[in-house]
Structure 1
Amino acid sequence: MASEAICENNVVPENDTKEEEITFKSLIDILSAQIETSEKEIKSTQLTLEQLKLEKSEMDKQYLPILKAPIKILMGDNSNVKLPMPINGQHCKMHSCFDFSRCSVFSGFPVYFYDSEKDLNVGETDDPSMACIFVVIVGQQINRITYSVLEKSLQKLPFWHGDGRNHILINLMRDENADIDIFGGADTGRAIIVQSPFVKTIFRSEFDIVIPPNIGKVSGDVWEELPPISPIRRKYFLSFKGSFKGNVQFQNGEQSDEQISNVENSVISFLKNIQLKLDPEIFIEFSCDTIIPGAINGEYSMCQNDESRYELLKQSTFALIISPANESYVSTNIFQLRFYEALKYGAIPVILGDHVILPYMEILDWKKATVILPKARLTEFHFILRTFTDTAMATMRRTGRYYFETYFSSTRSILDTALALIRTRLNIPPAPMVDMKSPSVFENNSYEVFKYEELNPENDETLGPLEAVFPSVKFSNNFTQNVFYHKFTQTGDPFRNYPFTPFEHVLPSESKFIGSGYGFRPIGKGEGGAGKEFSEALGGNLPREQFTLVMLTYERSNVLITALQRLKGLPFLNKAVVVWNNPAPPTPDLKWPDIGVPIHVIKTTKNSLNNRFLPYDVIETEAILSIDDDAHLRHDEIVFGFRVWREERDRIVGFPGRFHAWDVKNNAWLYNSNYSCELSMVLTGAAFFHKYYAYMYSHVMAAAIRDKVDEYVNCEDIAMNFLVSHITRKPPVKVRSNKSEVIINM
């Protein structure tokens, strides 16, 4: 009995054995998961260490200087150097008549107005001793004074210095009937003359400046006054209306009056012949009931009825402008008025006669908006125009409209452009664009960080190195001349210097391995690869960079905190910017997660959807991921979208797509969110875009659009899509929400 009892005590119950087995297996699973996590952390740390080694190597080699916005270095009175006078004032060029010593490239281009014009896109100064240039605005009164009085008035200017160096005389008269030779009889010395009409013997090429007539509003948007771009082909293919003023000595010197008369008769005869054959597509009249005074001899006067002229141009695909037969004039008021009206009303100007000077020819490529032909092409110009495709005509009309709105439409735009042209001659960059301040909702910008329990990762992939945050390089093109000039012909804002733009050119593929490798992170160190190699480097055709996440929120604190938690460990994230659209601040008990990068919560002045597109100063990267607080994207989807955006950085790249088209039946825009194989918009509730477009949206886009967004409390994403496509002429890029699927380029 005793032995049996001992045996029974040594037997382990079967239930206890199973429990221990389950416990051990659970412990093994926990340890295995910890090992897997540790291995992943080690791998990530090793990858980060490799990136740090690369950064150190680049810093040691000092490939790139540190650049910032231009610093002002101003000149004083002692910079007034003595310049040798040219043999003749008509021989003035910038090198012989302009005092560069007052205009350091670091000066910021300070401008002194004798009669101060406020709120211009120039560095205005009240201190003339620091000025680079001195501006004299000539108004309507000058037509009532003599040249001798004008000359004496100029000499009495306190900073004329005897010869008018660095003075800009701007004629802004609004009278088309004014004397053509306003400054011709006065000694203007070294001063640069800026006006619409010019006699050939007075105009100094690459020194004086031809501007459009000052007949628009003082400042402000003019889009309501302009006809739509479409239809491309209008009622009349070509139009012209005017009455020739001739039978007077032209004093051309190179051609006799008889030769000139024969040419003009040929023009009239040929155009009438075209009209007879192609009526009603051609509208041409060589007579007026009443005319606008002011045409010079040898020029076609304009007919008096303004409204009939405007309506004719609105119905014309092309507008014929015949340059003055009297070639002793390179620009006249009437010629410039015809040109101004054609651009305004969308009739592509066709200039017959190539001796005239168009406004701002030094910085604007007029061949993109205008057809310019010598009169010798008279018999061929109609055939040439017929070869233009709808696409070509739309491009020219759109370019002409941009030139008009930006450089012609108001007194302010004319002044801004003339001064920007002079600044560009001097290789001085525009004033830098100022970012929007980002006040924090927290006092001293501090808040309590709470260590939440980490959310389960949605995948175990290594998506990229976890680097220290770093900003994008700013103002890298401060003094790049070709960039200066390109800005004037590219849709956008030519009057400000932006920290960066999405239009950077790409280096040849081999350059990153032959001396130009600063910042590049090629896949597999240049050998390519997939999987492991792809995840370890950002790759692409541009140097490494990061993105800023901008999240708009309103009264959804719990949703916001959960969305922020999901960002922890996201590669290439520079910081998270929360736009707090709620007038009430966050509650003190709200616990903010530690996501490994800074979180900046911005206090807004009002609840507006436009706030999500403000160019905040805390956004230090070119790339912005705009995302709603209730949008849920996995890390791999975000990183994939970022990689795609880096190769399409001038476009919106994102996830939720929409479709729009013109509804012919209802004569309105059609918009829907139905599933479609063709998409034309990407919503900014989950999309990457360049910070440059935040500047454009907030400062350049018509204010009426932002007002409409506030009125509807909606449609800001539509506005941004139209804006980007308007600037680039490209659609957005839709990225599928599964990285194994393809990208759709629309």
Structure 2
Amino acid sequence: FSNCSPLKSLRIFVHPFDHPFAQALSEHPAATEDAQKACLFISFTNTETPDYPPSWNSLSEPGMNHVLVNLNGEISITPKGKEMIVQAHFQKGAFRSNMDLSLSPDVDSFDNTTWQTRPSIMILKRLNDYVLVVDFLDAHDSKIPQIQCFDDCFTSLLSSSYCLLPPSRTFHTRLLSALRAACIPVVLSTTQPLPFQDLLDWRLASFRFAPSMIPCIPEMLEELDKEDVLELRRRGKVFLARIDDAQALSKSLVAALFERVQISLELFPEVKSNLIVPNGENTNTTFTSPRIQSRTGKYKYTSNNLYSRVRWNSGRDLAYSPRSLHDAPPMPGDAAMYEGTRENIIGPIRLGLTRDAEQFTVIILAYNRDEGVKNIIDTLRDCPHLNKVLIVWGNLERRPNGAWPEIHVPVEFILAERDSLLSRFVPYHRIETDAVVSMDDDAGLGQQELIFAFRMWRENRDRIVGFAERLHRINKGQVYYERIFTCQYSMVLTSFAIFHKEFLYEFTYNQHPSILEHIDANFNCEDIAMNFLISHLTRRPPLKILKKESKRNGSKKGLSVRPDHETKRSECIRLFAQIYGYNPLL
């Protein structure tokens, strides 16, 4: 890896090859078409005698800085130099755990409709408790039934709870089939390499036993609680999403290379904000309040150390290095006592003794209710901890009208690229804080309630913290969206809520395309989708803050008054749960 500098972002050069995985890698953000700028070179083969590219001997030793991907699961290749090998099967003793990767690279391109054929994790009892998935049927005394599997046997495994997988040349094909069928893998080998096993903790999604333990396995697995079974299946869905298709596998492979060579990927791209001014007037330039920016990009190097395994195993996007992380730990309780840790904690208005002082950005999605937005801005005047107000203007036919209030912080207007509810969850480059307060243009608020919610969020950065709660309810075997004002809730509406900026990146780059398409087609449910995403990634419920008084800002009522509003939102919950393979709401 001598050609790679840790002070630059990772760059890969992908040699052309006619295969979906090669195409996906060539489209990865780290890929470059200029071989002179690359520090790693990826080439492909489907024969036992690879055609080595010209760059093979360009460095001091053959194969140095090269990754050779074997797309043919029927053969096994061995290194001829210093190259890293990626393939499904290695000869006995040939796998180098610090160099090679054992997985199936022969996968298809991402299919936006695949979720329609995948099972839910929720059917606890299946027709078969156990099945032994083998290349060739074999007479044996075990009571465990056998299924012969040469290729993808996904359909055959749908009726089984546990898939016992002995090692063989087709092991990774059978592993993919088991995960796709939500059948918990039981690996019958103590040495069989698993995909990205130094990054994915396969103990969370599978079992591993020696072959001699086969007679005992059924009795051992019968002791599992239902919660454990469902969590194993859920985590199996997360791990499958790392290797299921060419696009997912390309992200995982490049992220694994980044871990190996200790060279960071590029930071998550922020969306450039198209700033506009009301009716051509330049307003709010006299702000005087001191502003604190979050330390964007500070996790570029620690993301592959402190936080890497959590990101890999929770399902977060791997294509980029994170700009900010919701799970960055607080400092010890006496941090305010010591030089070097106390300077940014102690201030005129304390927010706690274990984190530096910070502020929040208010984002208001607006369309026609100018006066309502002006009322919100007026209410925010002199609000402590406020960094900036961003108004995402969704009306592409006109600009905001009239004079707008000037307050102690900047008020900026961003023209949305299109009229979409998704515009409220875009990671705009003008957002300079970790804390994001999402508001509708008819939100009613009090400053003290907002400040209290901000304090609660600082202690619960992995949750949506807000005021308007909703519940998904089960009735006669069907899921419904309801407004029940009791102590029960599983969602907090983003019409007035606080969440971490990291989730804007995840929503934009990691949310399933079918969900985004459904939101645009129905102009509804973007807040449900955000609740789904955060609960899926963190396994934490939202946090409701009780409002002392109900306020409105004078705006007319919005989308929620439509007669079919709750019906459509019930449909969203059902659809999103089908796409995720389960309902992550807690």
| TM-score, length of structure 2 as denominator length | 0.86
- Equivalent residues of 2:133, 2:174 under 8 A apart: no
Query: Deviation at 1:484?
Result: 3.0
Change (3 A) 1:202 1:734: same
Residues in 2 aligned to 1:679 and 1:122: alpha-carbon distance in whole angstroms: 39
CA contact (8 A) 2:278 2:400 kept: no
| 1:205 aligned residue (74, 97, 100) | 97
Aligned to 1:632: 444
| Residue segments in structure 2 that go unaligned for 5+ positions in a row | 18-22, 550-584
Does the aligned pair in 2 maintain the 1:239–1:319 contact within 8 Å? Answer: yes
- SS of 1:239's equivalent? strand
Instruction: Name the SS of the counterpart of 1:378 in structure 2.
Output: helix
Q: 1:486 to 1:335 in 2, by over 3 A?
A: same
Cα pair distance change 1:546/1:366, threshold 3 Å = same
Shift of 1:159: 4.7
Structure 2 residue aligned with 1:416: 251
The change in CA–CA distance for 1:634 and 1:387 in structure 2 (over 3 A counts) is same
SS of structure 2 residue aligned to 1:123: coil
Deviation at 1:450, TM superposition (A): 11
Q: Would the aligned equivalents of 2:190 and 2:210 in 1 still touch at CA under 8 Å?
A: yes
| More helix, by proportion | 1
Judging changes above 3 Å, is the alpha-carbon distance between structure 1 residues 245 and 198 closer, same or farther for their aligned structure 2 residues? farther
**Match for residue 455 of structure 2?**
643
Q: Is the 8 A contact 1:364 1:488 kept in 2?
A: yes
Aligned counterpart, 1:292:
none
**Which residue of structure 1 lines up, in the alignment, with residue 189 of structure 2?**
353
Contact 1:449 1:591 (C-alpha < 8 Å) held by counterparts: no
Q: Which residue of 1 aligns with 2:542?
A: 732
Residue 484 of structure 2 aligns to a residue whose secondary structure is coil
**Which residue is equivalent to 1:594?**
406
The 1:342–1:516 alpha-carbon spacing in structure 2 relative to 1, beyond 3 Å, is farther
User: Are residues 1:468 and 2:290 paired?
Assistant: yes
- 1:718 equivalenced with 2:521 (yes/no): no
1:651 Cα deviation after fit:
0.3
**What amino acid is aligned across from residue 146 of structure 2 in structure 1?**
E
1:133 alignment partner AA: L
Deviation of 1:691 after TM superposition, in Å, equals 1.0
Alignment of 1:150-229 (within 5 A): 150=50, 153-154=51-52, 159-161=57-59, 163-173=62-72, 176=73, 178=74, 180-181=75-76, 183-184=77-78, 188-217=80-109, 222-229=114-121
Q: Which amino acid aligns with 1:732?
A: P
* Contact kept in structure 2, 1:235 and 1:315, CA below 8 Å: yes
Provide, for residues 557-578 of structure 1, a one-character-per-residue CA deviation record: whole Å limited to 9, x for no partner: 1222122111101000000000
Corresponding residue of 2:553 = none
- Residue equivalent to 2:228: 392
1:477 aligned partner: 299
Question: C-alpha distance in 2, partners of 1:450/1:489?
Answer: 45
Measure the CA separation in 2 of the matches of 1:715 and 1:738.
27
3-state DSSP of counterpart to 2:412: strand
Q: Is the 8 A contact 2:391 2:413 kept in 1?
A: yes
Contact 1:652–1:721 (Cα < 8 Å) also in 2: yes
Q: How far did residue 609 of structure 1 move?
A: 0.9
Partner of 2:149: 302
Root-mean-square deviation (CA), in Å?
2.7
Q: CA deviation at 1:511?
A: 3.4
2:9 maps to 1:108: yes
1:95-146 deviation digits (Å, cap 9, x = unpaired): xxxxx3311112211111221746533422222223211111224xx26xxx
TM-score by length of 1: 0.68
CA contact (8 A) 2:493 2:528 kept: yes
1:658-697 counterparts in 2 under 5 A?
658-663=470-475, 665=476, 667-697=477-507
In structure 1, what residue type is equivalent to 2:97? S
State the distance in 1 between where 2:104 and 2:114 align. 16
Shift of 1:737: 0.4
Q: How many residues end up aligned between the 2 structures?
A: 541
Shift in alpha-carbon separation, 1:446–1:192, aligned structure 2, 3 A: farther
Structure 2 partner of 1:365: 201
Q: Percent identity at matched positions? A: 28
**Corresponding letter in the other structure for 1:322:** P
Change (3 A) 1:512 1:212: farther
156, 162, 172: which is aligned to 1:336? 172
SS in structure 2 opposite 1:134? strand
- 2:420 maps to 1:608: yes
Match of 2:434 among 622, 644, 649: 622
Shift of 1:217: 2.9
Deviations for 1:150-189, whole angstroms, at most 9, x for unmatched residues?
A: 4xx427556544612111111123xx5x2x33x24xx621
The 2-side partners of 1:651 and 1:221 are apart by: 30
CA 640–377 in structure 1, closer or farther in 2 if over 3 Å, else same: same
User: Secondary structure of 1:154's partner?
Assistant: coil
Aligned to 2:69, the other structure's residue is in SS state strand
Give the equivalent residue in structure 2 for 1:497.
321
Of the three residues 264, 270, 284, the one matched with 1:435 is 270
Output the amino acid matched with 2:162. Answer: F
CA positional deviation for 1:434:
0.8
**Aligned partners of 2:27, 2:113: CA distance in 1, in Å?**
15
Distance 2:283 2:273 in 1: 19
Tell me the residue number matched to 1:560: 373
Structure-2 residue corresponding to 1:544: 357
- What is the identity, as a one-letter code, of the residue corresponding to 1:474? T
8 Å contact 2:166–2:188 — kept in the other structure?
A: yes
Please give the alpha-carbon distance, in whole angstroms, between the structure 2 residues aligned to 1:547 and 1:445: 27
- Judged with a 3 Å threshold, the aligned counterparts in structure 2 of structure 1 residues 586 and 378 are, in CA distance, closer, same or farther, namely same
Say yes or no: does 1:569 pair with 2:382: yes
Asked if 1 retains the 8 angstrom alpha-carbon contact of 2:358 and 2:433, the reply is yes
1:578 and 2:477 matched? no
**1:225 Cα deviation from its structure 2 partner:** 3.6
Per the alignment, residue 40 of structure 2 pairs with 133
Deviation of 1:370 (Å): 0.8
Partner of 2:219: 383
Change in CA separation of 1:616 and 1:156 when aligned onto 2, cut-off 3 Å:
closer
User: How far did residue 556 of structure 1 move?
Assistant: 1.3
Partner of 1:83: none
The whole-number CA distance in structure 2 between the counterparts of 1:341 and 1:552 is 43
Between the aligned partners of 2:235 and 2:452, the Cα distance in structure 1 is: 35
What does residue 319 of structure 1 align with?
163
Correspondent of 2:282 among 447, 450, 455? 447
- Mark the CA change 1:474 to 1:230 in structure 2 (over 3 Å): closer, same or farther: same
Structure 1 residues 357 and 303 mapped into 2: Cα distance closer, same or farther (>3 Å)?
closer
CA distance in 1 between partners of 2:235 and 2:329 (Å): 22
Q: Alpha-carbon deviation of 1:510?
A: 2.2
For residues 512-551 of structure 1, the C-alpha deviation after alignment (integer angstroms, 9 at most, x for no partner) is 42345245536xx9xxxxxxxxx93222532110000011
Q: For residues 262 and 285 of structure 2, what CA distance do their matches in structure 1 show? A: 52
Report SS of the residue matched to 1:359: coil
1:585 CA drift (Å): 3.1
Query: Can you list the C-alpha shifts for 1:566-619, whole angstroms capped at 9, x where unaligned?
Result: 11010000000001111133356x111111100011111221111111111111
Secondary structure of 1:661's match? strand
Taking a change above 3 Å as real, the CA distance of residues 349 and 209 of structure 1, as seen in their structure-2 partners, is same
Q: Which of 380, 400, 404 is 2:240 aligned to?
A: 404
Distance 1:559 1:236, change over 3 A: same
Matched AA of 2:130 = L
Distance 2:473 2:274 in 1: 40
Q: What's the counterpart of residue 146 of structure 2?
A: 285
